[in-house]
Amino acid sequence: MPGTVMTMSKAINQGLADAMAADDRVLMMGEDVGPLGGVFRVTEGLHARFGGDRVLDTPLGEAGIVGAAIGLAMRGYRPICEIQFDGFVYPAFDQITSQLAKLTNRHEGSARFPVVVRIPFGGHIGAVEHHQESPEAYFAHTAGLRVVSPSTPNDAYWMMRQSIESDDPIVFFEPKGRYWPKGDVDLGAPAADLHASRVVRTGTDATVVAYGPMVSVALAAAEVAATEGTSIEVVDLRSLSPIDYAPVVASAEKTGHVVVASEAPGFVSVMSEVAATVSERAFYSLEAPVLRVASFDAPFPPAKLESIYLPDADRILDAVDRSLAY
C-alpha cells in the first residue's frame, strides 16, 4: 500500500521479500541470515517464508560467501550476499574487486553477474572497530562495481529492488545507524532512478552534499541554520558510483558555497572526488572553496569517543559559516 510507514530495516526486508517473491532466481545468503534473521533482523521472516534453499546460512567466511555468489550468478541466479558488519568485508575484498567487478569485462560483456553485496556501514550504534567503519571509497574506486547507499526507508526499499533487478554487481551500503527511525514508503512506484542524486531540501545560501547516514545530519544542520537566517540546500547523492552530478553542480551554481559531508575519513574519500568535480564544473560560480566535513583520519575509536569522531550538525554548520565568510 502506498504511504506505508516503516523503519529502514523493515523497508529493506520488504524489498528483499518482494524481489524473492517476484523472481525464483533471487537467493539470500550470509552469516545468520536464516532463522535468526541477521544480527540487525533485516532478513527476519525470509527463511520461514522462502525456505532454507533460498535463504542460506553460510559459514563464517566472507570470501566464500561472495565466491559462491559469483558461481551462482554464472548459473543464472541473482544472489544477494549479506556482510554482517562493514569491517568484516575485507576477507571478501579480493573476490569483490578482483573477480566480481572484472568478470563482465573479462567476458567482453557476454556474461552478466547480478550480485548484490549488502553491507551495514557507519557509526551510531556504540560498537568498536570492525563494527563501525565506512569502507565505501574502496569499492567506489573499483571499476566494474556500482555502489549505492539509501538515506530513507523509501529509498531503501526501492533501491534494493532496483539493485536486485540490475544485471551489474552492486555494493549496497546500508546506514546501520538509520535502521530504526521510521518514514513513509510508497510501494506504488520508485521516486527516482537507482543512480540519481536528489535535492532533499531547497535553499539559497549554501549547499551541503551528503549520502547515507550523513543526510539526516545535514538536514538537522539546515534546520538549525534556518533559525539563524541561513538557507541551506541539501543534496543526497544516493549513488556513489556512478555519481549523478547534475543536481550537485546546479545547486553549487545557485548558492556559490558548497560543503561536502560524510562519516568516512576525509583523506582520499568519495567526497574528495565530489569536491574536486564540483570545483572543476562550477568553478566560475563558486564564491569559496568547496569544504569537506569528515571523520578523522584514524581508526574508529571506542564507543565513548564516537560522538567526537563522527561529524555532527555543529561541524557542518561550522563549515558553512567558514564558507560564507570568504
Candidates 47, 124, 130, 131; catalytic one: 131
State how far the Cα of 82 lies from the Cα of 67, in Å rounded to an integer: 13
C-alpha cell at 93: 575484498
Closest CA to 193 of 139, 155, 219: 155
C-alpha span between 213 and 132 (Å, rounded) = 12
Three cell numbers written together for 242 = 556512478
* Amino acid present at 184: D
Q: How far apart are the C-alpha atoms of 78 and 70, rounded to whole Å? A: 9
Q: Where are the alpha helices (DSSP H) in the chain?
A: 8-22, 46-50, 62-74, 93-94, 103-106, 136-140, 153-165, 214-227, 246-255, 270-281, 306-309, 313-324
Q: Are 99 and 155 in contact (CB under 8 A)?
A: no
131 is catalytic: yes
Q: For residue 141, give the nearest of 270, 317, 17, 16 by alpha carbon.
A: 270
Cell of 43: 532478513
How is residue 8 written as a grid cell? Answer: 529502514
Q: Cell 546546479 appears where? A: 250
As annotated, the active-site residues are 131
